[in-house]
Amino acid sequence: MRKVLQPQSIPDPRPRYSQGILAEGKRLLFIAGQTAVDADNNVVGKGDAAAQAEQVLKNMKAVLDEAGASFADIVKITTYITDPRFRDDLNPARLKYLGDNPPASTLVVVAGLANADYMVEIEAIAVLPD
């Protein structure tokens, strides 16, 4: 079970993220920070935060698929970007993959990521029903 919590006393940020997610399940999936690399470890979308966000979420989908899960099972994501101007670049990919009832979310602007070409990294926690 996954229920979006949106208290009326605080702003509704949807469709970008949900204020809270109440989840019940039997298994937890912790997804490591995903970056914009392809299967050959090449950086996809150098200099393009939107393209990197798309690749990051494709990589996240691969992990979810391997676990028999979907984006609907994600209850929390943390997104790291290297420039606050990239925030709007994330939205098309986030809406495409996370849908209308997105997980709880935190956005962090950092000085850098593990590779100088990385602009976006996203980690997640999912709760699976069985």
Query: What's residue 100's pLDDT?
Result: 84
Report the b/e string of 32-44 with b at 16+ CB within 10 A. Answer: ebbbbbeeeeebb
For the cut 90, the answer to whether the pLDDT of residue 79 exceeds it is: yes
Query: What's residue 2's pLDDT?
Result: 84
* Per-residue pLDDT band at 69 (split at 50, 70, 90): very high
Closest CA to 126 of 24, 36, 34, 37: 24
Structural domains in the chain, sorted by start: 2-128 (3.30.1330.40)
